Structure 1
């Protein structure tokens, strides 16, 4: 699904040139579930931003779904983000005055999709994350874990092929974080969604199939998770 070859990213911090990424080689197959780990400053977020077409590499090749993307126009990159990728962040980014259904529908409004189809897709996405009975609750009426489920449903509503998650359990307690990971595992196994997540938590990384460890902007090593953590029932 995606391939990076010798991807580097440099940026200026004052008068200093910082090498955030140094020749990253990475490939992710369709249906994979990859966790990216590393200490602060290792390049995790920079790498995720490049994979998500939110940033461009300074050098190297990036191919997404057989398409070279590192030199595409800003408008074409925006199209790829909208059509191909779903994003989940540590902060839920829900609008407080809208209920769960309306929050999930927002990306479809921007696409110009009609109300009936928006309602159908949003309801299906909320059902997929176990919130079928909470569609009319506002964020203030939901727990942190439920708010993150709404955010996941919003990332699914556009029917993406790739989910990118940046510290998706960072603001949650361990039990709730495990439940969120169970949802990711279910989406990965049952719907074949490709998932790439950044996390600093070892136990969260082990819900995936592979772990990519970064250090100082380079891939230090890659590990296969021999036995995925047991799924938690989604209530």
Structure 2
């Protein structure tokens, strides 16, 4: 599968056209997405916002190849992925997409270093090289002195940075974050957004985050406002992002 090199912005990295997603709950059909059109360029940092039930998480799952749309087309890079097989979706996720969640999803019995190594195990990367890459990812997020700590020995902000290190250790083209600051205090939230800005500006990683916080959404380039499963408004923010703290 071909993905654009970082820094190439001529074409959309993520392009959704007329995406719908329907679920059946008993005899009731739920239309989570109702004809979503969305385009995100390589190297952009965007936020998806909307009220509860508007389809934010469903949309992120489709973008992240965790779920397939009922109808519509989805291009990631120059490849259509809406109809590929499950094993191909798994390969796409492993090779090109990093995930960050609100509740961190760190394995409690593993150290920070071991948690970050996990995605590389699935890629078949051997121990010495795997450890080297994991250490580099943790050190890039100022966690070099915490790599042998268990999650319970880390603060919430530190746990989220470990989760980010795990998401970027495979050098993904796209980082998807579902309420990444939802479980953090305001100071830790600002620190995590500073990390995202650094990843976006210095490494060229495309970032798509779902958030309900206006202040957090303001750190990106655009806000896609979702309502009843449709993009109601696209807000372009000031190109000069907040300074990295």
Q: Same fold (TM over 0.5)?
A: yes
- What residue number does 1:164 align with? 176
1:229 aligned onto 2:242:
yes
- What residue number does 1:126 align with? 138
Q: Which moved more, 1:200-209 or 1:221-230?
A: 221-230
User: How does 1:87-106 map onto structure 2 within 5 Å?
Assistant: 87-106=99-118
- What residue number does 2:90 align with? 78
Deviation (angstroms), 1:98 = 1.4
- What residue number does 1:180 align with? 192
Deviation (angstroms), 1:228 = 2.5
Deviation (angstroms), 1:190 = 0.2
Work out which of the residue numbers 104, 107, 119 in structure 2 matches 1:107: 119
Q: Please, which runs of 5 or more residues in structure 1 have no aligned partner?
A: none
1:182-227 Cα distance to aligned partner (Å, 9 max, x none): 0000000000000000000000001111000000001110001115
Q: 3-state DSSP class of the match of 1:40?
A: coil
Q: 3-state DSSP class of the match of 2:39?
A: strand
- What residue number does 2:161 align with? 149
Deviation (angstroms), 1:40 = 0.2
- What residue number does 2:6 align with? none
**Equivalent residues, number:** 232
TM-score, normalization: structure 1?
A: 0.97
| RMSD over equivalenced CA pairs, Å | 0.9
1:115-143 Cα distance to aligned partner (Å, 9 max, x none): 11111110111011111221111111110
Work out which of the residue numbers 216, 226, 232 in structure 2 matches 1:214: 226
1:50 aligned onto 2:56:
no
TM-score, normalization: structure 2?
A: 0.93
Q: Please, which runs of 5 or more residues in structure 2 have no aligned partner?
A: 1-12
**CA–CA distance in structure 2, aligned partners of residues 130 and 211 of structure 1:** 29
Q: 3-state DSSP class of the match of 2:144?
A: coil
**CA–CA distance in structure 2, aligned partners of residues 75 and 115 of structure 1:** 25
**CA–CA distance in structure 2, aligned partners of residues 93 and 54 of structure 1:** 16
Q: 3-state DSSP class of the match of 1:55?
A: coil
Deviation (angstroms), 1:96 = 1.5
**CA–CA distance in structure 1, aligned partners of residues 65 and 107 of structure 2:** 24
